Amino acid sequence: MNRKAELFVDCRCELGEGPFWHPLLGRLFWFDILNQTMLSANDAGHIVDRITFRDTVSAAAVIDENALAVTQSGTLLRYDFRTDTSSPIIEIESDIPGNRTNDSRVDRAGGFWIGTMGRRGEHGVGNVYHYRAGVLNRIISGVSIPNSICFSPDGRTAYFTDAGAMIRKCATDPETGMPIGEWEDFFSIEGMGVADGSVVDAEGFVWNARWNGNAVLRISPDGKLDRVVEVPVSRVSCPAFGGKDYKTLFLTTAREHMTPEELEREPQAGSIFAIEVDVAGIPEPAIRL
């Protein structure tokens, strides 16, 4: 297996985030949060969609081949590809205009975990919500920067980090996806940036993107470092498995707040990178509306 990810789409997003493979369309989707844009590309790395929303967007869940549930700041939207229109599913902090959505992912029971944060990264003003079958619950409060939301293959464990110092884990109900235990420490490492987005493979290992770390790490279910994949840009934000056999690991990156000197060293910062791996990922479940 290669140990270094290669360029897949030279898109240079300001803040690339929220990648996922759409199993019904056979495309990778991701977001440029600060430019309020959702993009997609086919398996050859050619951009197919570039859709702009009214506010920042950060993640989405599959509804069917024609629609996605998109986390726009203030609301969860239903976006329809056929009509290029959006309609609200449910409000999420619409009364807090200073907040926006961030890292979010669907659990194995079809519940959408949706993280929010201050638009300037203010301390403790965000939350994590669980939306499933028309019901919205706040499950984590006082969050600064929600990240690493992902789930074990059996749906019995959730992972999460706030501001990237420590990835934590919690027992969850596989029937509902809701937390049923206390959060406990899972993984931390010095000298490799901070923990950003994560995804779990079919063997239950967590793949964690390292912001300012030039890498993505594979972490065993018992919290031990298994391998390191190098990325040729520093701000690696989130991984996702995809491709026909789900053995391609895609990585979003960012160029937000980089200096001219840093951008000269990393001209492709904000682009999508990819690497073929020897273990498959798991298709993202559809959201239960």
Catalytic residue among 32, 103, 107, 196: 196
Active site residue 196: yes
Distance CA 91, CA 183 (A): 27
Which H helix or E strand runs over 43? none
Nearest by Cα to 199 from 251, 273, 139, 126:
251
For residue 266, what are its two tokens?
């990393």
Cα 149 to the center of its chain, rounded Å: 7
What is the layout of strands, in order, in the sheet containing 236-242? 6-9, 272-276, 248-253, 236-242
Hey, how many other C-beta atoms are within 10 angstroms of the C-beta on 258? Answer: 18
For residue 234, what are its two tokens?
């520093």
115 touches 147 (CB < 8 A): yes
Q: Catalytic residue numbers? A: 196
